[in-house]
């Protein structure tokens, strides 16, 4: 296992290329199981979770041809294996996204329940309900979801109890095989949902309304070979935008799309940073100490839960106090004790963190616990006095391509060393 050694206090100035979106790529790789024809995905991020998902669909019989660091051609013609075992699913919860495609195309699926995850229980009851509403029989048997639809799926009107990103994606993918119209109401509106719909449409599916809270799918689908270019990663872009703010520097984020940053762009303006579009992406600049401002995480286009930890690092050195409320996951404050070890003044009241900005943080050895908590500690280390050592950086490798190198090229002092 490696760790990152960060010597803080240096302004970031320069350009960072934003990679493809991990959370768009994962469902698109799962979607390859739906079609007997080839799907070529470009702009895939070179991160652990994507490599993991490619091996997952490979285990289901998909021929995976990695044609370059950011391109893969997936041919599910030969796919025939319908079981996703516990040892795979427990490593990456998103493996559950193969459930919909498997039961839709093959009439059967046996996928391990994902088990808990660091940030919360993260049940998949909504995924199971959606498949049952489309006509599958769904049961849990000794830790596995067993879904069957031997006489196929039928279109239905699905009203999601909450705008779950994954359940919306499961519903869209399964509905491509359901006869007639499927309507998904209270659908998640995240850009990654719209991008999955664009990928499915390229493959031959008939989908309208993706990106809004009402999606209509006409099935069954006449599949065809397709290519799809994955959207840029708005969470990576938001992370580096806050790196610019916390170091009072300026960064051009090439490939980033300002319209995907939603509430974060407004918050950064509110606290004193500036963001504007450029012909290559967007620019973020911050001349001084940011001011404190409250946030509450919300479904898109509200403030993304995946940027909550990073924002807390920024608020730890802000001028003033603020409340950060986490409404999506029940345990997404594991970065707090680590930030406190660096001198942050944070106290927790249930799902709200009260942060009193300090004029400085002090470098310390800290431990990453999940993907976004680990990058929060890197941001804090960039601003802290002295050296911060972030251990268990394998969490980072799951979702950030070349993070240390990208930051070093903009002036950060970061070394990746063995633990």
Q: What is the binding site for ligand EPZ (CB under 6 A)?
A: 23, 26, 94, 120, 122-127, 162, 164-167, 188, 192, 305-306, 328-329, 371-372, 399
CB of 22 to ligand EPZ, least distance (A): 6
Instruction: Find out whether 393 and 415 touch, Cβ atoms under 8 Å.
Output: no
Strands of the sheet containing 137-141, edge to edge, are 83-84, 108-112, 144-148, 137-141
Q: Cα dist. 411→58, 189, 383, 407 in Å?
A: 40, 36, 12, 7
Closest to ligand EPZ by CB, 162 vs 278, is 162
CB of 399 to ligand EPZ, least distance (A): 6
Closest to ligand EPZ by CB, 75 vs 95, is 95
CB of 58 to ligand EPZ, least distance (A): 18
Instruction: Find out whether 186 and 159 touch, Cβ atoms under 8 Å.
Output: yes
Closest to ligand EPZ by CB, 106 vs 329, is 329
Closest to ligand EPZ by CB, 6 vs 328, is 328
CB of 93 to ligand EPZ, least distance (A): 6
**74 bridge partner residues:** 39, 64
Closest to ligand EPZ by CB, 56 vs 317, is 56
CB of 3 to ligand EPZ, least distance (A): 21
Backbone torsions φ then ψ of 240, nearest 5 degrees: -75, -30
- The residue count for the chain: 419
Q: Which of 117, 199, 322, 376 is catalytic?
A: 117
Residue 410 is a catalytic residue: no
Closest to ligand EPZ by CB, 43 vs 305, is 305
CB of 17 to ligand EPZ, least distance (A): 19
Closest to ligand EPZ by CB, 131 vs 355, is 131
CB of 397 to ligand EPZ, least distance (A): 13
Instruction: Find out whether 150 and 177 touch, Cβ atoms under 8 Å.
Output: no
> Which residue lies nearest ligand EPZ, judged by its C-beta?
166
CB of 164 to ligand EPZ, least distance (A): 3
Q: Whose CA is closest to 235, among 297, 185, 317, 167?
A: 297
Closest to ligand EPZ by CB, 123 vs 180, is 123
Where in the sequence numbering do the catalytic residues fall? 117
């Amino acid at each position: 296992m490696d760790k990152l050694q960060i010597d803080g206090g240096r302004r970031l100035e320069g350009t960072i290329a934003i990679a493809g979106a991990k959370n768009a790529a994962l469902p698109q790789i799962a979607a390859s199981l739906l079609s007997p024809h080839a799907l070529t995905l470009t702009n895939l991020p070179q991160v652990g979770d994507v490599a993991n998902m490619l091996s997952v669909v490979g285990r289901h019989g998909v021929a995976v041809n990695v044609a370059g660091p950011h391109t893969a051609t997936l041919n599910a013609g030969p796919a025939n294996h319908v079981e996703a075992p516990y040892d795979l699913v427990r490593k990456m919860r998103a493996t559950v996204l193969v459930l919909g495609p498997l039961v839709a195309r093959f009439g059967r699926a046996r996928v391990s329940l994902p088990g808990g995850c660091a940030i919360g229980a993260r049940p998949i009851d909504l995924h199971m309900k959606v498949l049952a509403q489309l006509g599958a029989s769904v049961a849990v048997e000794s830790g596995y979801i067993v879904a069957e639809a031997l006489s196929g799926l039928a279109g239905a009107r699905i009203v999601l109890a909450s705008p779950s990103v994954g359940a919306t994606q499961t519903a869209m993918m399964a509905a491509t095989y359901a006869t007639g119209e499927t309507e998904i109401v209270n659908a998640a509106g995240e850009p990654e949902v719209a991008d999955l719909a664009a990928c499915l449409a390229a493959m031959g599916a008939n989908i309208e309304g993706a990106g809004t809270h009402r999606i209509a799918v006409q099935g069954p689908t006449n599949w065809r070979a397709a290519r799809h270019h994955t959207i840029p990663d708005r969470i990576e872009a938001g992370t580096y935008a806050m790196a610019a703010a916390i170091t009072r520097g300026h960064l051009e984020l090439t490939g980033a799309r300002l319209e995907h940053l939603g509430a974060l762009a407004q918050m950064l303006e509110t606290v004193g940073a500036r963001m504007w579009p450029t012909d290559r992406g967007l620019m973020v600049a911050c001349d001084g100490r940011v001011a404190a401002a409250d946030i509450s995480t919300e479904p898109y286009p509200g403030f993304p839960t995946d940027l909550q930890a990073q924002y807390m690092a920024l608020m730890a050195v802000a001028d003033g106090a603020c409340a950060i409320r986490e409404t999506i996951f029940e345990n997404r404050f594991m970065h707090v004790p680590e930030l406190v070890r660096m001198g942050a003044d944070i106290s927790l009241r249930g799902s709200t963190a009260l942060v009193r900005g300090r004029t400085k943080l002090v470098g310390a050895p800290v431990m990453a616990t999940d993907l976004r908590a680990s990058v929060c500690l890197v941001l804090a280390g960039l601003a802290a006095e002295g050296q911060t050592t972030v251990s268990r950086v394998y969490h980072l490798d799951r979702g950030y391509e070349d993070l240390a190198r990208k930051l070093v090229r903009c002036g950060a002092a970061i070394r990746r060393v063995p633990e």
